[in-house]
Structure 1
Amino acid sequence: MQDLSTELSLVTVTYNSAKVLGGHIDSLRSSATGPLPKWFIVDNASTDDTDSLLSTYGQDVELIKNSENLGFGSACNIGIAASNTRYVLILNPDTELSESAIQQLLVEMKSRDAAIAGPALDPSDDRSVEAVDWLVGAVLLFDTEKMDSVGYFDEQFFLYEEDVDICKCANNAGLKVVHCRNVSIPHVGAGSTERTSTVNEFIHFHKGRSFVLYARKHNLPPSVVEKYIGDNRRRKFIALLTFGRGRYLRARAKLKGVASVLLEMNGCE
């Protein structure tokens, strides 16, 4: 069995995640048979009980407190920079961990000479392991010896697409990205903040914004962005006709996110 405490660091990014963070940490502590890996909690200026909760865990975790919400990718980069192990596991705070799953994911990464590996996030009978174009960012294992030359998260993506982008950059560099469906690390989902209307608008704004940033960075045809805009305009119109307020607000927020990038692009011309 590998000594996770010397081979691996954990990085969990939080934002008002106190309601799920304790369960996240305890899931690994309760299953560990040896010393825990170094565990960095990178907090994006939470205003809930995150700080007081973490104080109860003593030296099992180390809090890195950002003075403002820097976004997911930027916070991940801070945690990766603080780590001094070859392997770094990036985690959402609403994932359920076990020592055996982390061990198995690390074994799969090494055996397949991969730069990035991710587990199954939902229950499945599929036990395959295969190279993929991208992985969901809720759980990502990095081999820093391979990834240091590529770089990590592009900080222009505040939320969304940063996982797609980093996997594409790794693939473009000839590195392997593998989906290990034979390893289960469940992702509960929506564990960071209460989904108020303001939070929903913020989330969908960044979905739209990040979509266009990704398309621009990777030189996707203009028709891709045009279709995205057209689809959301139709959703907004249909939502108006059917009194679908939630669908209308989501589509409107995405279009605002798109517009924010297009305005910046026009301002640079």
Structure 2
Amino acid sequence: MSNHYNISATIVLFKEQEDVLLKAVNSFLAYSGEKKLFLVDNSPTPISNSYILNHPEITYIFNNKNLGFSKANNLVISKIKDNSKYHLVLNPDTVFKPQVLDELVEQFEINEELSIVAPAIKYPDGEHQYSVRKYPNFLDLLFRKTGISKKRIYQQEYRNLDLSQPFFPEAVHGCFMLFKTEDFTQINGFDERYFLYMEDLDICKKIDQIGKKKYYFPSVEVTHVLRKGSAINIRLFFYHFSSAVKYFLKWL
């Protein structure tokens, strides 16, 4: 198989349910063009699924420790640089139809200023997820966690706009981010100081620094389960708080 592919993708794993993971894996593998999927596993024990381990279009990387989301994603930078035209960062609980990638790639070809193209994101029941947002300040995050000001949250999530129409948001959700690989590698991927959370906002800021744009294209959609971990888990809440502090110290 050629080492050059039109689209590469990374899914970072941590104790994933195999049936859920396989849906995400097969969503990507249904793409008809040249492709390569990297499964980067932060779990304490490796997977044993023979389909994944033996598939010619999948490279499985077992870290034997939890490197965090950003560092795990960045492990593939040297593998995709000069080999991949577009790179997808995909959550293991996100699925989509085969034509989605073709339609998103087409947007890059229409507008060379784009670094990221993101689809509309839906819950499994079809309800819309508010996956594009403005860059937050500290109060915005506080209001999001406590629900104090719905008006402020709505403005933060562009709910005042017609989200059935494409536009250029400040930031997009990290569950499905399709990058131009050249730009992703130029900015050295995600900032590895973020173990979990805020890395999607940060990388959108880095895209701004190289003068490129992010594009929300809701004519296509993907489905994301959205596990709201940090709201119910103390450890995950700590990661979120720690990442928020790093983000604001860096950018504000």
TM-score using structure 2 length: 0.74
> Per-residue deviation at 1:154?
0.3
> Per-residue deviation at 1:173?
2.4
Contact 2:6–2:33 (8 Å) recurs in 1: no
- Please, which of 67, 86, 109 is the counterpart of residue 64 of structure 2? 67
| Within-5 A mapping of 1:3-42 | 6-19=5-18, 20-29=20-29, 31-32=30-31, 34=32, 37-42=35-40
Gapped regions of structure 1 (runs ≥ 5): 221-269
> Per-residue deviation at 1:55?
4.2
Tell me which structure has the larger Cα radius of gyration.
1
Larger helix percent:
1
- Give the partner amino acid of 2:102: Q
> Per-residue deviation at 1:46?
4.1
Q: How has the CA–CA distance of structure 1 residues 36 and 23 changed in structure 2, closer, same or farther, with 3 Å as cutoff?
A: farther
Deviations 1:181-227 (A, max 9, x none): 22211111229xxx699x81221011100010000011x2xxxxxxx
**Corresponding residue SS for 1:50:** coil
**Corresponding residue SS for 2:15:** coil
Distance 2:242 2:58 in 1: 33
**Corresponding residue SS for 1:104:** helix
Structure 2 equivalent of residue 256 of structure 1: none
Gapped regions of structure 2 (runs ≥ 5): 129-161
Structure 2 equivalent of residue 129 of structure 1: 166
Q: How has the CA–CA distance of structure 1 residues 98 and 66 changed in structure 2, closer, same or farther, with 3 Å as cutoff?
A: same
Q: How has the CA–CA distance of structure 1 residues 207 and 185 changed in structure 2, closer, same or farther, with 3 Å as cutoff?
A: same
Structure 2 equivalent of residue 101 of structure 1: 100
Q: How has the CA–CA distance of structure 1 residues 75 and 212 changed in structure 2, closer, same or farther, with 3 Å as cutoff?
A: same
Deviations 1:49-72 (A, max 9, x none): 733365465223210111210111
Distance 2:53 2:185 in 1: 34
Distance 2:7 2:78 in 1: 13
Contact 2:36–2:58 (8 Å) recurs in 1: yes
Greater relative contact order (Cα < 8 A, sep 6+): 2
Structure 1 equivalent of residue 246 of structure 2: 213
Distance 2:223 2:98 in 1: 13
Q: How has the CA–CA distance of structure 1 residues 39 and 152 changed in structure 2, closer, same or farther, with 3 Å as cutoff?
A: same
Distance 1:38 1:176 in 2: 25
Contact 2:119–2:219 (8 Å) recurs in 1: yes
Contact 1:88–1:144 (8 Å) recurs in 2: yes
Distance 1:106 1:196 in 2: 32
State whether structure 2 residue 84 is matched by structure 1 residue 51: no
Aligned residues: 208
Contact 1:54–1:61 (8 Å) recurs in 2: no
Distance 2:98 2:214 in 1: 22
Contact 2:100–2:221 (8 Å) recurs in 1: yes
- Please, which of 165, 168, 179 is the counterpart of residue 142 of structure 1? 179
> Per-residue deviation at 1:22?
1.4
Name the % identity: 30
Contact 1:80–1:88 (8 Å) recurs in 2: no
Contact 2:24–2:94 (8 Å) recurs in 1: yes
| Within-5 A mapping of 1:157-236 | 157-190=194-227, 200-218=233-251, 220=252
